[in-house]
Amino acid sequence: MTFASNLAHAVHGGDRRALSKAITLVESTRPEDRESARELMSLLMPVAQPGFRIGVTGVPGAGKSTLIDSLGRRALADGRRVAVLAVDPSSRESGGSLLGDKTRMTHLARDGAAFIRPSPTRGVLGGTAGRTREVLLLCEAAGYDFLFVETVGVGQSEERVASMVDCVLLVLLAGAGDELSSMKRGVLEAADVIAFNKADGDRIAAVECDASALRSSLGISRAGRMPEILVVSALENTGIDSLWATLTAYHAERQAAGALSARRASQRKAWFDAAVDDALRGLFANDPELIRAFAAAEQEVESGRVAAPEAAERLVASLLARR
C-alpha cells in the first residue's frame, strides 16, 4: 500500500492524528507532495459523507470564535461530531500566522468528539485558506458531520466562503453601523442567518435595537428569502438554543427542497475553476524556462512597457507552444 492509501484508511477510520497529517499534506506547497495529495483526495472523495457546513463570518472582534465554541458544545450535546477550520491571517512576508483561535474555543479544544484546525490564509483573499475545500472534504471523510469555517474577518471579500459551505452565519455587534456600511453588499446578501452577538449586561437594549433596524432594512432591500436575525450572547450562553434551532431548521428545509445538493454541485464547479487556476500557476512555478518567462512578463507589466492582458496572453501562448 502507498503512503496515501495508508493515510486514507486511517483518516476514514477516525484517526485524529492521521487527519492532521492528511491536512498538512494537502496544504503543502512542496511539489513532491502534490501526487500523494491527489491520490489521497481521490481515495477519500467516494467515502466522504456530506456534513452540515457553516461559514461563520463577520467583523473582527464580533466574538466568532466564542460563538462557535458555544454552538459546537450544543452540537456535541446533540450527538454530532464537530470540526472547526479556524482560518488565520498569514504574513505575506514570513508566511507565519496567529493561529490563536484554539485558545478561544476552550470547551471544544478539550472534547474528543471535536477537531479544531487553524489554517493560515497564505495571502489568499476572501477570508478563507487556499485548501479549505479539500480540508472540509477530509473532515467529512473522517466522520465529522457538523463543520464550521471561521473566516479571518476581513469584511470586504468574505462572501467567497459562500462557495464552500451550506449556510453562511454572519456575526455582528451592536453599534456596527460603520462596519456594516464598509462591507461589500455581497456579504449581507450571502448571509443565510445573522446573529447579533454580545447581547449581555447593559448592551442588551442596544443590540435588540440594531437587530430590529436591520430586519426592517433587509425587509425593504432584499426581495428573496429573508435571513433570520437573532440576538445572542456567546459569553453568557443566551440565545444559543434558538440559534441552534434556526441553523438546524435551515439545513433540514434546504435539504428537503434539494437546494443543498444543487449548492454542492455549484461548489464543485467553483472548486474545479480554482483548481484549473492553481494547476496553471503550478506549471509556471515548476518549469525553469516558464519561470523565467513569467518573471520577464511580470517585470514588463511592472515597468509599464506592456499591458497586463497582453503579457498574460503571451505567457499562455508560450505555454501552448511547449505542449
User: What is the rounded CA–CA span in Å between residue 51 and residue 40?
Assistant: 19
What's residue 15's pLDDT? 95
Segment 215-232, tens digit of pLDDT: 887 766 555 678 899 999
pLDDT above 50 for 97: no
What's residue 58's pLDDT? 84
pLDDT above 60 for 290: yes
pLDDT above 60 for 156: no
Asked which of 16-25, 84-93, 107-116, 225-234 is least confident by mean pLDDT, the reply is: 84-93
The percent of residues above 70 in pLDDT, for the chain, comes to: 83
What's residue 56's pLDDT? 93
User: What is the rounded CA–CA span in Å between residue 218 and residue 225?
Assistant: 10
What's residue 323's pLDDT? 64
What's residue 278's pLDDT? 79
This prediction has a pTM of 0.84
Average pLDDT for 80-84: 96
| Side-chain-facing half-sphere of 196: CA atoms under 13 Å | 24
User: What is the rounded CA–CA span in Å between residue 214 and residue 102?
Assistant: 31
225 vs 30: which has the higher pLDDT: 30
67 vs 61: which has the higher pLDDT: 67
User: What is the rounded CA–CA span in Å between residue 288 and residue 59?
Assistant: 42
Confidence class for position 157, pLDDT limits 50, 70, 90: very low
**Highest mean pLDDT: which of 11-15, 60-64, 197-201?**
11-15
What's residue 4's pLDDT? 94
Segment 122-145, tens digit of pLDDT: 544 443 446 888 999 999 999 999
pLDDT mean across residues, the chain = 83
Asked which of 18-22, 59-63, 232-236 is least confident by mean pLDDT, the reply is: 59-63
- Which residues fall within 8 angstroms of residue 121, CB to CB, at 6 or more apart? 87, 88, 89, 90, 97, 127, 128, 129, 130, 152
Closest listed residue to residue 196, CA positions, set 181, 213, 174: 174
Asked which of 9-13, 150-154, 166-170, 215-219 is least confident by mean pLDDT, the reply is: 150-154
Task: Catalogue all structural domains in the chain, each as residue range(s) with its CATH number.
Answer: 1-47 (1.20.5.170), 48-257 (3.40.50.300), 268-321 (no CATH)
What's residue 126's pLDDT? 40
Tell me which amino acid residue 163 is: S
pLDDT above 80 for 152: no
User: What is the rounded CA–CA span in Å between residue 249 and residue 118?
Assistant: 28
Average pLDDT for 270-286: 81
pLDDT above 70 for 154: no
Average pLDDT for 14-35: 91
User: What is the rounded CA–CA span in Å between residue 126 and residue 157?
Assistant: 5
What's residue 36's pLDDT? 94
Closest listed residue to residue 58, CA positions, set 128, 167, 154, 125: 154
What's residue 190's pLDDT? 80
User: What is the rounded CA–CA span in Å between residue 47 and residue 174?
Assistant: 43
